[in-house]
Amino acid sequence: MTSRPPNDHQPYPAYQNRWYAMAIVLMASFMNLLDVTIVNVSLPTLQRDMGASSSDIEWVVAGFILTFALGLLPFGRYGDIVGKKLMFLIGVGAFTLASILCGLAPNIEFLIGARLLQGAAGAIMTPQVLSIAQTIFPPHERSIAFSLFGLTAGMASVIGPVLGGLLIAADIGGLQWRPIFLMNVPIGLLALICAVSLKNIQLPVKK
C-alpha cells in the first residue's frame, strides 16, 4: 500500500493578511540589504570627515558583516523559541536605533561600535523574515513569495550605490555621509508600526 503524494493545493491554514505581512518583512529586509551596499560609496567621504585610518574604515564595513554572520544561526534558533514576530520587532527596532547612532556618531570609534550593533540587529531580523514567509504562506504560494526576496535583494544592490552617491553629492543640511544611515529611521519606524498592528503571524504548518 502506497501513500498518496502531498498535494500543495490542499486546504492549508494560510495567514489571512499574509501579503500585507510580506510587504512589511520585505520593507525591513530591503532596509538591511540597502545598508550593506550604500555604505561603500561613502567610505572616502567618511574617512576624510572623521580623519579615520584605512584600518578604521575597514572595520566600518567588516564589523557589520562580522556580527551579522555570527548572529544569524543563534538568533534564528532563538526566534523559534520565543517567537518570530517578537524577534522581528526587536531586530527592526535595534536596527533603527543603531542607524540613528551611526548617523550621529561623533567619531570613528563610536561609528564602528554602532555598526557592530547594526550588524547584530540585522542578524536578529533576517532569520525571522525568511521563517515568517515560510510559515504564513501555503506551499503553492511560497515560490512566488520567496522570489520577491530575490527581487528585493537585487533592487537593494543596484539602488544602494546610486542612492548613496546622490545623498553624499547633495550634502543635505551639510550632513555629508550621515543621511545614508539616518534614512533608515523612517523606514524602520514604519515597519515597526505596521508589524505591531498585525495579529499573531505564527501559524502551525500543516503536515
At 70-109, the pLDDT tens digits run 999 999 999 889 888 899 999 999 999 999 999 999 999 9
Sign of CA dihedral 173, 175, 180, 186: negative
Q: Are 85 and 132 in contact (CB under 8 A)?
A: yes
Cell of 162: 546610486
Query: Which domains does the chain show, CATH number per domain?
Result: 32-196 (1.20.1250.20)
CA angle 164, 95, 98 (to 5 degrees): 80
Q: Are 52 and 193 in contact (CB under 8 A)?
A: no
Give every CB contact of residue 18 below 8 A, 6+ residues apart in sequence: 136, 137, 141
Say which residue, 33 or 121, is predicted with more confidence.
121
Q: Tell whether the model's pLDDT for residue 149 goes beyond 90.
A: no
pTM for this structure? 0.85
